[in-house]
Each structure stands twice: as C-alpha cells, then as structure tokens.
Amino acid sequence: MSANSTTSSEFSRSRVGLSRRRFLRDTAGALAAGAAAIAFPRYVPARALGRDGHTAPSNRIVMAGVGIGNRGSGVMGNWFMNQPDVQFVAICDVRRQRRLAMKQRVDEHNGDSACKMYVDMAEVFARPDIDAIITATGDRLHATVAVRAMRAGKDVYSEKPATMTIAEGQELVRTAAAFGRVYQAGMQRLSERNFIFCDELARSGRLGEIKTVYAHLAPWGDMFSTSRRDWLPAEEQPPRDEVDWDGWLGPCPWRPYNKQYVGGGWHGFYDFYNSVIGEWGSHTFASCHAALNAQDTSPVTYPFVTSEKNRNAAGLTMTFANGVKMVMHADNGCYDGGVPKTPFGWRGSCGVRYIGTDGWVATADGYSAPDVSHPALLTELNKVVQNYLARTNRELDHVRNFLSCVKSRRETVANPRLTHRSMSTVHCANIAQRLGRDLTWDPVKEEFVNDPEANRLRSRASREGWQIV
C-alpha cells in the first residue's frame, strides 16, 4: 500500500470527525450553487429571453425550411431570417450538403446548435412546435409540400410556380379553406411599389376601360413551351443520406438517377418543369389577374401559336369572358434609348403593361418608377400606393405580409384563390400548346369545353404514396 493510501479505518475516523456545523455549511453552499446554476446558466442569448430588442418567445413564429437550395436558401436566409419575430428550428432537404450548410447558417443566427435536420418532410410536419414552413423545392413539389403541410396544421409560404396542374390548384384552395391555413405564393411583385401602382391604376379606372394587358414570359426560347419528354441516362445512385432520390422525385414518374437533375438540370423536362410560360408567367399572370380583379376566374380562349420559330408561345392572346385580352410577350430588350420600340416592351424582367381607353402604364424589375402614357399619372404615385396599403392593411414586403397574416389570420395578397386562378391560366396555355389546337375554357366549371383529351391534362398521375388529389 502506498504512502498516499487511506485505510478504511482512517476514512471512517475522518467521517466521524466531521462536525454537524461544517456538514450543514458545506451542504447549504453546494445546494445554493446548484440552484444558481439551474436558475442562471452561464450564458443565455438575449434572443432567447426577448431582450435587447429581440422578440419574446411567445410572439415568435417558429418555422422550418423544406427544400432549401439556391432559391430556398436565399429566400429563407435573406428574407425570413431577417424578420425579428421568426425563429427557424428545422431544416429539411433531400441533399445532405444543403442541410448542413443551412443548419450552420441558422445556428449562427440563433446563437445555438438546436436546429434539427431532416430528410423526410413528414417528420417536420409532425412537430407540434412548428407554426409555418417555407418551401422552395423545384416546380414538381411545390403543391405537394404545401398541401401536406397545411393538412398537418402548418401555414405555408411557397415559392412559385405554385402548382404543376389545375387539379393541384383546386386542392390547394380546398385544403387552405378546410384546415384554416394561411398561404402565400412567392409572387413577390404583388407587394412591390411599382407593380402595386400599376395594378391600382387599372383597378381604379384611372386608365379608363382596360382593353388589353401584356404579361412578360421568360425569354429563353430554347426551352420549348411543350418541354422535353425524354430523360437523362442512368448514373449510380448515391446513398439516401447524401441524396434521397425518391424524395427528390416526389410525385413524378420514376426516372433513373442523374446528378444533372439534382444540380438544376431538371429545367426543360416535362416531368419536372412548368415551362417558360410558368416560369415568369407565374409572376406576371398573377399581376394581370390582380389588376383586372380576376381573382376568381381565368381567360376563356387559348389559341395555339407555338411553332419552331416561336418556341416559347410568345404572342399567345387569351381573352377573358368580358372581352379583355391578355397577351404573352417574351421580348426583353425592346427599348431604344428609353423609348419603347413596341407598344408592349419592357426594359427589365417580369414586366406587365395595362392599356385602357384613357391611357396605359407599364413596369418591370429595376424601374425607378413605372412608364405611363401621361406624366400626370405619376404625380399621385405615392398617394396611390399609400391608399392601397391603408385600404388593404398590407405591407410593401411580401414576406412581412405573410407573417402578419399568420398572426392575424387574414388573407394574404398571393392567396390560394389568386394563385390557383392565375396558375390555371398558365396551365390552360400550356395545354393548348401541347395539344396543338385552340381551346375554350369554362372558368365556372373549371373544365375545357367539348374536349375530353384536354380535360384529362388538368391533372397528372402521381406515384404511389405521393398523391394529394
């Protein structure tokens, strides 16, 4: 036994020699220290306590991101995470690399490591602490994610194009109403100053009777409006934790894995893509519908115009039941020294132009102020926008509009009905080009007139386990 060892009898004697006073003193000190450690941890972020200007936990909207690639990480990280009353607690993506990158960003923002990562969206929707989600998957999954989330009691901000079919849009409207959920499509130009001004001029009668509206299409004609029907060659499928290929496909037909799809190469394929009509039309058609107070209807005629020389269906002129024409246009550079070379041109992307009996107005991305037929129209720009905001109780911030409606339970600006009807216009135009003939649409019955083949294209078959309609 070493010199430093203590015999059992010596240990017993040391315990016997411990005075009652010392025992009570030491025990009380230990208990006090322990209580202090429990009540006052070494560091609690001000954000967690609602201090230093942070929103108290009881007033926060707890959120998850589902599908957070290039677009999703931007919308979530730059728009949502900057809102003081938003807290992200979960990340869901089929790609491991994206999950890790966004978790790191959320954890750094929150000052902790509590953000959970998921591959399966169902696990996110099952969490009772999550109030709302943002989804920014590819076109193929927007409606599927939104409907499943709303059925699970979550409010939804969904990137556009919001639906792949007319049937998905109908289900979007039904689900939001049946489950009392707040839904906002990412048609953010509905909340931007110049676009609001143009819409208000049309709605208020300042332009006289509206005769024609123009909607800008994505100008890359190499992506034929009818889209490719083939698929890429098979490659070795990675482990599910790296890329969940089944989850990536979602409701789409089974196709062999190819990394180009996952890297954005799904654009242009019928299985996954909404066409050039849907890519920008999901923005511009929504603005036109809003300007025409056409939240609950769509045009009734859709002519076939696609040819090898006009691969994006530019010039397609749809007509509403009241006679107003809506023209798709793809030119993205039809100004010469600030002067329009055509009556429907724009200097930027996602432009709209509204023409009435007493004047016209147009805008696009990057405008300092809209173009108008009469300079006097611009003198009331700020007044018109402010009156709109006061009347609707909305904000010049699309994300903020969604969050405010989550709290108030009001209807958002890009609500399910406007989303569905403007996307129905996209889908009807697509179907006319795919079938190669003129179509007539009944917006009340939501069916094509005397055309069973066209009516079958109002929906698509979904893989087993992925159906929402």
Q: What is the CATH number of the domain that holds 165?
A: 3.40.50.720
* pLDDT surpassing 70 at residue 357: yes
- CA gap 140, 164 in Å, rounded: 6
Structural domain count, the chain: 2
Domain boundary among 158, 173, 188: 188
Question: What element of type H or E holds 184?
Answer: strand 183-185
Tell me whether residue 158 is in a domain.
Answer: yes
Instruction: Determine which helix (DSSP H) or strand (DSSP E) holds 25, and give its type and residue range.
Output: helix 20-39
Q: Do 215 and 155 share a structural domain?
A: no
Could you tell me the two tokens for 465?
């386990």
In a domain, 370, yes or no: yes
Tell me, yes or no, whether 96 and 202 share the same domain. no
**Tokens (6 digits) for 466:** 């992925």
215 and 133 within one domain: no
Q: Is residue 16 part of a domain?
A: no
Is 234 inside any structural domain? no
How many CA atoms are closer than 13 Å to the CA of 290, on its beta-carbon side? Answer: 29
Does pLDDT of 50 surpass 70? no
Higher pLDDT, 221 or 33: 221
Rounded distance between C-alpha atoms, residue 96 and residue 241, angstroms: 6
Does residue 236 lie in a domain region?
A: no
Q: Does residue 249 surpass a pLDDT of 70?
A: yes
Q: What are the two backbone dihedrals, phi and then psi, of residue 99, each rounded to the nearest 5 degrees?
A: -60, -50
Please give the pLDDT value at position 383. 97
DSSP state of 379: G
- In contact, 257 and 248? CB cutoff 8 Å: no
3-state secondary structure of 392: helix
* Residues 222, 127 share a domain: no
Give which of 123, 131, 137, 135 is closest to 85, Cα–Cα. 131
Mean pLDDT of 305-314: 77
**Cα(340)–Cα(347) distance, rounded to whole angstroms?**
9
Q: Is residue 131 part of a domain?
A: yes
**Whether 338 and 382 share a structural domain:** yes
* Lowest mean pLDDT across 25-39, 328-342, 361-375: 25-39
- Looking at 163, 188, 213, which one is the last position of a domain? 188
In a domain, 104, yes or no: yes
175 assigned to some structural domain: yes
The verdict on 142 and 220 lying in the same domain is no
Write down the pTM of the prediction: 0.87
Q: What is the dihedral of CA 302, 303, 306, 310, to 10 degrees?
A: -100
pLDDT on residue 174: 98
184 & 201 share domain: no
- Quote the CA–CA distance of 303 and 325 in Å, as a whole number: 12
Please tell me the predicted confidence (pLDDT) of residue 164. Answer: 98
Strands 339-340 and 335-336: antiparallel
Q: How far is CA 100 from CA 94, 115, 434, in A?
A: 11, 10, 40
Amino acid type, 447: E
Averaged pLDDT score across all residues of the chain:
88
Six-digit token pair at 371? Answer: 């173009």
Helix (H, G, I), strand (E, B) or coil at 63: strand
Edge-to-edge strand ranges of the sheet holding 447-448:
371-372, 359-363, 352-356, 210-216, 325-329, 317-319, 301-302, 439-442, 447-448
Residue 279's domain is classified under what CATH number? Answer: 3.30.360.10
What distance in Å separates the CA atoms of residue 469 and residue 173, rounded to the nearest whole number? 12
Residue that terminates a domain, selected from 188, 217, 245: 188
Could you tell me if 208 and 141 lie in one domain?
no
- The mean-pLDDT minimum among 77-91, 295-309, 377-391, 429-443 falls in 295-309
Same domain, 318 and 433: yes
pLDDT of 152 over the 70 cut: yes
Closest by alpha carbon to 133, among 116, 150, 111, 120? 150
Number of helices (H), then strands (E), in the chain: 16, 17
Handedness of CA 395, 286, 372, 359 (dihedral sign): negative
Judge if 53 and 101 occupy the same domain.
yes
- Strand segments, DSSP code E, in 290-337 are 301-302, 317-319, 325-329, 335-336
Q: Say if residue 337's pLDDT is above 70.
A: no
Residues 119 and 208 occupy one common structural domain = no
| Containing structural domain, residue 351 | 190-226+273-396+415-456
Q: Are residues 157 and 296 in the same domain?
A: no
Provide mean pLDDT across the span 297-304: 97
